[in-house]
Chain A
Amino acid sequence: MELFVQQVITGLATGGIYASIALAVVMIYQAIDHFNFSQGEMAMFSTFVAWQLIVWGVPFWIAFFLTVAVSFVAGLFLFRVILKPIHDGPALSQIVVFIGLLCIFNSLAGTLWDFTVKPFPSPFPEGNIGSSLVSGHDLGMIGVTLAMLLAVYVFFRFSTMGLLVRAAAQNPASARLCGVRILWVTALGWGLAAAIGAVAGMLVAHKVFLEPNMMYSIIVYGFAAAVVGGLDSPGGAVVGGFLVGVIDNLCGVFVPAGDELKLTFALVLIVAVLMFRPTGLFGKRVVKRV
Chain B
Amino acid sequence: MALLEVRDLRAWYGHTHVLHGCDFTLEEGSVTAILGANGAGKTTLLRAVSGMIRRSGEIRFDGQRVDRFSCEDIVRLGVAHVPEGRGTFDRLSVEENLRVAATARRSNGDVKGDFERVYGYFPRLQQRKSQQAGTLSGGEQQMLAIGRALMLSPRLMLLDEPSFGLAPQITRDIFHILAEIARNASASMLLVEQNAAVALELADRAYLIETGRIVMSGTSDEFRADETVRRTYLGY
Residues on A lying within 8 angstroms of B by beta carbon are: 160, 163-164, 166-167, 170-171, 173-182, 232, 284, 286-289
Interface residues of B (CB under 8 A from A): 50, 52, 71-72, 75-76, 80-81, 83, 87-92, 96, 99-101, 103-105, 132, 134-138, 148, 152
Known: A170-B92, A176-B75, A178-B148. A288 touches B50 (CB 8 A): no
The answer on a CB contact under 8 Å between A178 and B90 is no
Give Cα A182–Cα B100 distance, bound, in whole angstroms: 12
Query: Chain A residues with Cβ under 8 A from B90's Cβ?
Result: 170-171, 286, 288
Residues of B within 8 A of A160 (CB): 99, 103
Q: Inside 8 A of B81's CB, which chain A residues have their CB?
A: 177
- Which A residues are in CB contact (< 8 Å) with B100? 163-164, 167, 175, 178, 180
- Chain B residues positioned under 8 Å from A164 (CB to CB): 100, 103
Q: In the complex the two chains form, is B104's CB within 8 Å of A174's CB?
A: no
A286 to B93, CA, bound (A): 12
Q: Is the CB of A180 within 8 A of B92?
A: no
B130 shortest CB reach to chain A, Å? 13
**Can you report 8 residue pairs joining A to B where beta carbons are below 8 Å apart?**
A174-B83, A174-B88, A174-B89, A176-B71, A177-B83, A177-B87, A180-B100, A182-B72
Given A178-B75, A289-B138, CB of A173 within 8 Å of CB of B83: yes
Q: Inside 8 A of A182's CB, which chain B residues have their CB?
A: 72
Minimum C-beta distance from A241 to chain B (A): 23
Q: How far in angstroms is the closest Cβ of chain A from B49?
A: 12
Instruction: Report how far A279 CA is from B103 CA in the complex, Å.
Output: 30
Set of chain A residues within 8 Å of B135, measured between Cβ atoms: 287-289
Q: How far is the CA of A232 from the CA of B91 in the complex (A)?
A: 10
User: Would you call B104 and A178 a contact (CB within 8 A)?
Assistant: yes
Task: Check if B83 sits within 8 Å of A180, measured CB to CB.
Answer: no
- What B residues does A289 contact at CB under 8 A? 134-138
B-side contacts of A174, CB under 8 Å:
83, 87-89
Contact B76 A179 (CB under 8 A): yes
Task: Find A167's partner among B75, B92, B134, B137 (CB 8 Å cutoff).
Answer: B92
Contact of A173 among B52, B101, B136, B138 (CB under 8 A): B52
Cβ–Cβ < 8 Å partners of B96 in chain A: 163, 167
Residues of chain A contacted by B89 (CB below 8 angstroms): 166-167, 170-171, 174-175
CA distance A167 to B75 in the complex (A): 16
Partner of B72, one of A166, A167, A180, A232: A180
Question: In the complex the two chains form, what is the Cα distance from A287 to B88 in whole Å?
Answer: 12
Residues of A contacting B134 in the complex (Cβ-Cβ under 8 angstroms): 286-289
Answer whether A177 and B71 are a contact pair too, CB < 8 Å, given A167-B100, A287-B135: yes
Q: How far is the CA of A182 from the CA of B105 in the complex (A)?
A: 15
Q: How far is the CA of A272 from the CA of B46 in the complex (A)?
A: 46
How close is A131's CB to chain B, nearest CB, in angstroms?
47
Q: Is the CB of B132 within 8 A of A177?
A: no
